[in-house]
């Protein structure tokens, strides 16, 4: 016999033992399901770049929320697919009372008052320029964008959103939104800030889903450089000081180090967005038979949670929850 004083494999000898010492426990309660919504009724349009994900009209999104709630997913974020004729340079439709996005939020909260509903605040779904901020003479201007974002946030709070999600990456927007919400007596409406949102190549399928890609230029003057980690901590500290309740990292997989950094140094819950490109590349590899989807999907989500994300926005939410409920997750 060899003299091996430490044998860690003893603690991996059976599923029962592995369950005893498992350090990371992911449940459907940790997940937020993104939903793409559009105007009208009876519309369920599959997004070609995101297999199994659809743009949904009001009646269809109510069915989807109901199905998710049945398997334990109780948190949702909505993204609007807006017709081109409603888009303007200032994105004013975002705060307009007739906005179908606000109507759908009211319908969801009326049918499912127990769910958590998160909004998206940015100009790009409503902007004819396709940028998150106001474009003036080819420049994305910061300060002139802020009141437009605040108007969106207040309109969303009135519609029943529990948390506002500023995804624009304009400087100072969390503080301006917090002040606007408080002045409108929405002191209990929270803010999940996209604090470290990177100028990533993994957003392509999402922009196809909403047809919201910039008409010119790119988003590198406001979204973060993928090479930077310390900058994320600075952005998170600013958002926390301005009143953010959650701090988000987007994307997730290539930024697990950033998630860990924020989870260690910040006193707010950390969220991570498992984005469209991360979803689609796993779906594509599985369709080719190159990867075991049933194992890879929960492994991906567990790694994000293990890195320090208390909350994960993911298109896998319903699938994960169905497997969790049925006891079909790998052990």
Residue 87 among the catalytic residues: no
- For residue 256, say if its preceding peptide bond is cis, omega within 30 degrees of 0: no
Measure Cα distances from 29 to 111, 276, 312, 324, 325 in Å. Answer: 20, 21, 10, 11, 12
What integer is the mean pLDDT of 168-177? 96
Residue 76 clears pLDDT 70, i.e. is over it: yes
Active site (annotated) includes residue 288: no
Mean of per-residue pLDDT scores for the chain: 94
| 239 and 247 Cβ atoms separated by less than 8 Å | yes
Angstrom distance (rounded) from CA 145 to CA 123: 8
pLDDT band at 328 (very low <50, low <70, confident <90, very high): confident
3-state secondary structure of 150: helix
Q: Quote the pLDDT of residue 207.
A: 75
Give yes or no for residue 118 having a pLDDT over 90.
yes
> What per-residue confidence (pLDDT) applies to 213?
67
- For 32, list phi and psi in degrees, rounded to 5: -115, 130
Structure tokens at 175: 């503080």
- pLDDT above 90 covers a percentage of the chain that reads 84
Mean pLDDT of 44-55: 94
pLDDT for 215 beyond 80: no
The domain limits of the chain are 27-326
Catalytic residue among 87, 197, 219, 283: 197
How far is residue 191's CA from residue 245's CA, in Å, rounded to a whole number?
5
Residue of 63, 219, 220, 250 marked catalytic: 250
Q: Which of 79-93, 119-133, 201-215, 300-314 has the lowest mean pLDDT?
A: 201-215
pLDDT at res. 217: 67
The whole-angstrom separation of Cα 271 and Cα 165 is 11
d(CA 220, CA 46): 29
The predicted structure's pLDDT at residue 149: 97
Q: Between 256-265 and 230-242, two packed helices, what is the crossing angle to 10 degrees?
A: 50
What predicted TM-score, i.e. pTM, was given to this entire model?
A: 0.95
Q: Determine the average pLDDT of the residues in 8-37.
A: 93
Inform me whether the pLDDT recorded for 129 exceeds 90. no
Q: What is the helix (H) or strand (E) element at residue 177, kind and residue range?
A: helix 173-183
pLDDT one-digit tens code per residue, 239-271 = 999 999 999 999 999 999 999 999 999 999 999
pLDDT of residue 130: 79
- Cα Rg of the chain (Å, integer): 20
Q: Which CATH superfamily is domain 27-326 in?
A: Aldolase class I (3.20.20.70)
DSSP string, 76-130: EEEEE---GGG-BTT-GGGG-TT-HHHHHHHHHHHH-TTSEEE--B-STTTBTT-
Q: Which residue has the higher pLDDT, 234 or 207?
A: 234
Residues contacting residue 324 through CB under 8 Å, at least 6 positions apart: 27, 28, 71, 72
User: Are the C-beta atoms of 309 and 273 separated by less than 8 Å?
Assistant: no
Q: What is the pLDDT of residues 98-116, one digit of tens each?
A: 999 999 999 999 999 999 9
């Amino acid at each position: 016999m060899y003299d091996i004083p430490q044998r860690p494999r003893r603690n991996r000898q059976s599923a029962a033992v592995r369950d005893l010492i498992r350090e990371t426990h992911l449940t459907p309660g940790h997940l937020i399901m993104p939903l793409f919504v559009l105007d009208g009724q009876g519309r369920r349009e599959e997004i070609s770049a995101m297999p199994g994900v659809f743009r949904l009209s009001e009646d269809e999104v109510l069915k989807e929320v109901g199905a998710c709630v049945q398997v334990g997913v109780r948190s949702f974020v909505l993204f609007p697919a807006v017709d081109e004729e409603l888009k303007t340079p200032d994105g004013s439709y975002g705060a307009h009372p007739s906005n179908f996005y606000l109507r759908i939020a009211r319908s969801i909260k009326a049918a499912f008052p127990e769910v958590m509903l998160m909004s998206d605040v940015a100009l790009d779904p409503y902007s004819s320029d396709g940028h998150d901020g106001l474009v003036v003479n080819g420049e994305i201007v910061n300060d002139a964008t802020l009141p437009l974002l605040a108007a969106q946030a207040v309109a969303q709070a009135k519609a029943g959103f529990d948390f506002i999600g500023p995804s624009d990456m304009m400087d100072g927007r969390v503080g301006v939104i917090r002040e606007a919400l408080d002045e409108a007596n929405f002191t209990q409406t929270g803010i999940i800030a996209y604090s470290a949102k990177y100028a990533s190549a993994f957003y392509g399928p999402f922009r196809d889903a909403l047809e919201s890609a910039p008409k010119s230029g790119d988003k590198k003057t406001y979204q973060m450089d993928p090479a930077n980690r310390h900058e994320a901590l600075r952005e998170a500290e600013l958002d926390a000081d301005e009143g953010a309740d959650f701090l988000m990292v987007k994307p997730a997989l290539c930024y697990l180090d950033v998630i860990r950094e924020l989870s260690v140094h910040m006193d707010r819950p950390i969220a991570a967005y498992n984005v469209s490109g991360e979803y689609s590349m796993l779906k594509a590899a599985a369709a080719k038979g190159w990867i075991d989807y049933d194992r890879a999907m929960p492994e991906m989500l567990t790694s994000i949670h293990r890195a320090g994300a208390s909350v994960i926005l993911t298109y896998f939410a319903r699938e994960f929850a169905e497997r969790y409920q049925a006891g079909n997750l790998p052990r």
